[in-house]
Amino acid sequence: MSSSSNPTEAAYKSAVEKLGLKSNIARALEIPDRELKVEISFRRDNGEIDSVVGYRVQHNNTRGPFKGGIRYHHHVDIDEVRSLATLMTWKTALVDIPYGGGKGGIGINPSDYSKVELERISRKFFRAIDPIIGVNIDIPAPDVNTNAQVMSWFMDEYSQAHGYTPGIVTGKPLELGGSEGREAATGRGTAIITREAAEKWNINLKGAKIVVQGFGNVGSYAAKFLHGYGCKIIGVSDISGGLYASDGFDIDELFDYNYEHRTIKGYQHGKKITNEELLALDCDFLIPAALGSAINEDNVDSLNCKIIIEAANGPVTGEAADKLWKRKIAIIPDILTNAGGVTVSYFEWVQNLQQFKWPEDEINQKLEQKMVAAFNEVYSVKQNKNVPMRIASFMVAIDRVSAAYDLREG
């Protein structure tokens, strides 16, 4: 394994080598198809004109339209968006849905703006990227600090210019063509992958100890579903800090509290702990579901888990992954674990194209089938090639994209 701090780049290079992919093909699959940088000028509520910068990177569309979220965060830059767009290409290929990879973002802290200002920014941004998107070209979705409301503004802006087009974005409200099951999809997928990993690593889910770092949408839903499988959620955290309960939390109660207050701060059960103490808890599964690089060289030696389930994008650095591999602590990678969201986004898009809604139980069943099939395929490669799950995931994804690339270019 490479000791690169970027585990995605390291995994790509290792997978390419294991597959014996020709260097010219490997290079072609690395280079983004298009990168767009736009200036977004808008009027503040006080009447002043302001401007911010936005990006849309379209990495690869060999297997289908570009697909990926749009995030609002002050750390957004072209390097981050490019890396995440590339990750989406491999993620969609891994779960075998007919998409490529894309990503977008605006470099703002949403809390610095009113709702009206955010609507102006959102509409101007979507107008700016309009020439390069389309229902069969590039389909954005929510990401960090964007939600169904932002997708509604995007869809409306596009529809005003092109006619009613719900399929131009996914992650919409149900009233505008959104899909049942979409809100919980990434967390549900995370729970399914954890369940499958428990079976392969001979861990009894009944009473298995789970620690969830990041109790937002993904982490809270993952905890809820894992609790339903019989697991004990002994540690949780968010930006306000961590909580520990040796006998496990009442997750339904904690979930409802967090849903109402948008934080676990003030929840009256459990012992308050720091994030560092949370990561060091003795557990079967550690689920980092916050931002990237949460597990790094500074804290990796303190980890006391059997398996890491990467619900966030890039939560384990390359250096930390190397150390964990030597300690025989398995990592189930992000491109597999959190693919539930884009999978149900695909289902939403298909429903929009068909103009026909599916019931939630059918969507959940289809999601289950996709996630289990992808896990089993990756695990088979891991066993046959004696490589970590991350490398195996990239091998499956790259092989799928390169085969399509060869056919189209041939």
How far apart, in whole angstroms, are the C-alpha atoms of residue 162 and residue 267?
47
User: Is residue 189 included in any domain, yes or no?
Assistant: yes
Residues 159 and 36 in one domain: yes
Of 172, 222, 228, nearest to 338 by C-alpha is 222
The enclosing domain of 235 has a CATH number of 3.40.50.720
Q: Which of 91, 103, 232, 370 is catalytic?
A: 103
User: Is residue 51 included in any domain, yes or no?
Assistant: yes
Report the chain's mean pLDDT, rounded to a whole number.
95
> Which pLDDT score, from 0 to 100, does residue 393 have?
98
**Burial of 134 per CB tally in 10 Å (0-12, 13-18, 19+):** middle
Average of pLDDT values for 30-36? 97
* 382 is annotated as an active-site residue: no
Q: What is the pLDDT of residues 352-397, one digit of tens each?
A: 999 999 999 999 999 999 999 999 999 999 999 999 999 999 999 9
Does 5 have pLDDT greater than 70? Answer: no
User: Is residue 366 included in any domain, yes or no?
Assistant: no
* Cβ atoms of 169 and 138 closer than 8 Å: no
Residues 36 and 158 in one domain: yes
Write down which residue in 336, 370, 386 finishes a domain. 336
How far apart, in whole angstroms, are the C-alpha atoms of residue 368 and residue 175?
25
Residues 214 and 330 in one domain: yes
pTM, 2 dp: 0.94
Residues 256 and 327 in one domain: yes
The enclosing domain of 130 has a CATH number of 3.40.50.10860
Does 3 have pLDDT greater than 50? Answer: no
Residues 155 and 35 in one domain: yes
Q: How many CB atoms lie within 10 A of CB 76?
A: 25
Residues 87 and 159 in one domain: yes
Residues 262 and 133 in one domain: no
> Which pLDDT score, from 0 to 100, does residue 410 have?
60
Write down which residue in 336, 370, 405 finishes a domain. 336
How far apart, in whole angstroms, are the C-alpha atoms of residue 140 and residue 66?
8
> Which pLDDT score, from 0 to 100, does residue 8 have?
79
Q: How many CB atoms lie within 10 A of CB 275?
A: 17
Domain count, the chain: 2
Measured CA distances, 350 to 47, 123, 178, 184 (Å)? 42, 25, 11, 18
Residue indicated by tokens 């569309």 = 61
Q: What is the pLDDT of residues 170-187, one digit of tens each?
A: 999 999 999 999 999 999
> Which pLDDT score, from 0 to 100, does residue 166 have?
97
> Which pLDDT score, from 0 to 100, does residue 291 have?
80
Residues 6+ apart with CB under 8 A from 254: 215, 223, 233, 236, 264, 267, 269
Residues 153 and 201 in one domain: no
Residues 202 and 280 in one domain: yes
Residues 97 and 219 in one domain: no
Does 276 have pLDDT greater than 90? Answer: yes
User: Is residue 395 included in any domain, yes or no?
Assistant: no
User: Is residue 157 included in any domain, yes or no?
Assistant: yes
Q: What is the DSSP secondary structure assignment for residue 134, as one 8-state letter?
A: B
How far apart, in whole angstroms, are the C-alpha atoms of residue 219 and residue 406?
38
- Three-state DSSP class for 4? coil
User: Is residue 176 included in any domain, yes or no?
Assistant: no
> Which pLDDT score, from 0 to 100, does residue 91 have?
97
Does 1 have pLDDT greater than 70? Answer: no
> Which pLDDT score, from 0 to 100, does residue 409 have?
82
Return phi, psi of residue 324, to 5°: -70, -35
* Cβ atoms of 20 and 13 closer than 8 Å: no
Does 292 have pLDDT greater than 90? Answer: no
User: Is residue 389 included in any domain, yes or no?
Assistant: no
User: Is residue 363 included in any domain, yes or no?
Assistant: no
Residue type, 253: E
Sorting pLDDT into bands at 50, 70 and 90, what band is 293? confident
- Domain, as residue range, for 56: 31-165
Q: What is the pLDDT of residues 120-133, one digit of tens each?
A: 999 999 999 999 99
Write down which residue in 288, 320, 336 finishes a domain. 336
Residues 161 and 212 in one domain: no
Residues 246 and 142 in one domain: no
